[in-house]
Chain A
Amino acid sequence: MQGPLIDTLARQGVTRRTFFKYCATLASLMALPPSAGRAMAEAMAASPAAVKRPSVIWLPFQECTGCTESITRSHSPTIEGLIFDAISLDYQETLMAAAGHQAEEALHKAMKDNEGKYLLIVDGSIPLGLDGAYSCIAGKSNLETLKEVAKGAAAIVAMGSCAAFGGIPKANPNPTGAVSVSDVIKDKPIINIPGCPPIPVVMTGVLAHFLTFGSLPEMDSKGRPKAFYGETIHDRCYRRPFYDQGKFAKTFDDEGARKGWCLFELGCKGPVTYNACATVKWNGGTSWPVESGHGCLGCSEPDFWDAGGFYKALSMPADPLKMVSAAAAVGAAAGVAVSFANRAKKSAAKAGHETTTLADLEK
């Protein structure tokens, strides 16, 4: 696949009009002005820069390949997938044909040829325990590789919750000492696209923004693109009206659940989860977890795995209340002890009472 993206798309049966419509949608999804859609389309399809596809290096660390699956199997053939195909993905262990030292050569060639210009995508967390020995590629620890490859990158995309926040490998007790990309790299622009896995269109949106404007889109305090992570699942959920009416599903298959009532009581973390699932949905807009009947796990938030259990409502105690019975016993003991002390005081006062006689008063 060489040449401008628009030709590639045309070969796949995507018309110019469809592509422009897609760019306009992408721009509006990212809350950019309408002109940005055109700019995106031109940057990605028409400009000479697009002839030489921008180099992208994708490093997998402690990950499960779910993020790659999410992008590549998004819904064949989506334009997301095609744009993804149309960048020059110079290193991606799962997708590349090369293996072993050939793959390493491809990595180093891409780094050398595109010094300071390539986009680095990382999925998976970086283990720091045992000097990084928990995860190595080509004899190097992930930590070494990340530092080496990040040095020449224009920007870094932390794909998925593991790269963005440490994710499942970082879950308590974190045996490998897993950390996020931003814990290691401090001197490069990093954008976090958390999710387990993240939504494909979010990835494409960020990529399109980078290709068009040469910069990363506006981010929130956790380094996530605001356009996609600006609102909570709960606030955009189609089940929200039932929450407001106080109608809740009590089990996964009761009448309320079938009527589409709110899943808050079944442990939905929608109120504290910032992501675009409720609006963008999954699998080409088919459905999303809450629509399929399961509460949100909060996968795009840091430490979602240790946030008190997936099936406990947010307002319920996160841990068993172990202190309560001991505290009650101590309270009862203290109360009884103080009562006895008070009684003793009263008895002492009674015993010490002196009778006053007339003679005493006349003294």
Chain B
Amino acid sequence: MNEMQFLTWVRGTGLNIALGIFLLGVIWRLIEIYGLGRKKDLSAPRNVSGASGWNTMFRRSVPPEGMLKKSPVSYIGGYIFHLGLFVVLFLFAPHIKFFESLLGISWPGLPSQFIDLVAVVTIAAMVVVLVDRINKPVKRYLSTFEDWFTWLVTFLPVLTGWMAVQHLLLPYTTMLALHILSVEILLIVLPFTKLFHAFTLWGSRWYNGQVNGHKGVAV
């Protein structure tokens, strides 16, 4: 298999399989999670200001008092790489073309030099949060295989994409194919690991806020 055949495979058969598994997993897990249901809370709701699902969705997006100072890398690094991933994934013109071919909608992109800068910052932030996870004894103790693995499958698409654009290490064609392959691995892994938070984050925040809000606790 030469690199053009490799690229065509990842753009064709590989993508077909990966998107299939991704969609299968996402729909399965969403139905399963939201189909679980909870017992109805029969107690009278206590109305406390700031205690509701919507409040919690917002509140948990900002660090609680004092935490930013205690754990700056987690918050700042985490924010940077999540925003970076968003910008690189959704505002790079070739990516928009990909979404357009799948969903039929498109939106304006950003200049590729800017995307390049964001990619570098994202890569740096991801490396910093990894190093922090290794260095901090508590974080290291709490980390399981899944944490290291999900970091890797998130990191590889950014790294290979940036390396392809920069023509580093391998010819562009091969690197582009590796980039797409790494995205396919991410797509397959996402529904079945903690990366599924991309789908459940807002729902679970709202749910936690709502349940506790009913009891009069602002979480």
Contact = CB atoms under 8 A, between A and B. Distances in A.
Interface of A: 222, 232, 235, 243-246, 248, 264-265, 271-272, 298, 301-304, 306-308, 312-319, 321-324, 326-328, 330-332, 334-336, 338-339, 342-343
A327 B13 contact: no
A200 B23 CA distance: 50
Given A303-B4, A321-B15, A335 B28 contact: yes
Interface string B86-119: 0000000111011001100000111111000000
Name which of B25, B167, B173 has the most chain A CB atoms within 10 A of its CB: B173
Closest 3 CB pairs of A and B: A335-B31, A339-B35, A331-B27
A294 B106 CA distance: 22
B21 A246 contact: no
B63 to A, nearest CB: 34
A328 B176 CA distance: 28
B2 A303 contact: yes
Contacts, number: 138
A334 B28 contact: yes
Interface of B: 2, 4-5, 7-8, 11-13, 15-17, 19-21, 23-32, 35-37, 93-95, 97-98, 101-102, 108-113, 167, 172-173, 176
B172 A334 contact: no
A255 B112 CA distance: 21
A323 B110 contact: no
Contacts of B35: 335-336, 338-339, 342-343
A322 B2 CA distance: 25
30 contacts: A222-B2, A244-B113, A245-B112, A246-B110, A265-B97, A271-B176, A303-B5, A303-B8, A304-B4, A307-B8, A312-B101, A313-B97, A313-B98, A315-B94, A315-B95, A315-B97, A315-B98, A316-B11, A316-B98, A317-B101, A318-B15, A321-B20, A323-B16, A324-B20, A326-B20, A327-B24, A334-B28, A338-B31, A339-B35, A343-B35
Given A324-B20, A331-B24, A339 B36 contact: yes
A264 B95 CA distance: 12
B27 A335 contact: yes
Contacts of A317: 11-12, 15-16, 98, 101-102
B113 to A, nearest CB: 6
Name which of B21, B25, B97 has the most chain A CB atoms within 10 A of its CB: B97
A56 B188 CA distance: 55
Given A306-B5, A338-B31, A343-B37, 4 more contacts: A272-B172, A321-B102, A323-B16, A334-B28
A316 B10 CA distance: 11
A127 B150 CA distance: 48
A331 B97 contact: no
A314 B94 contact: yes
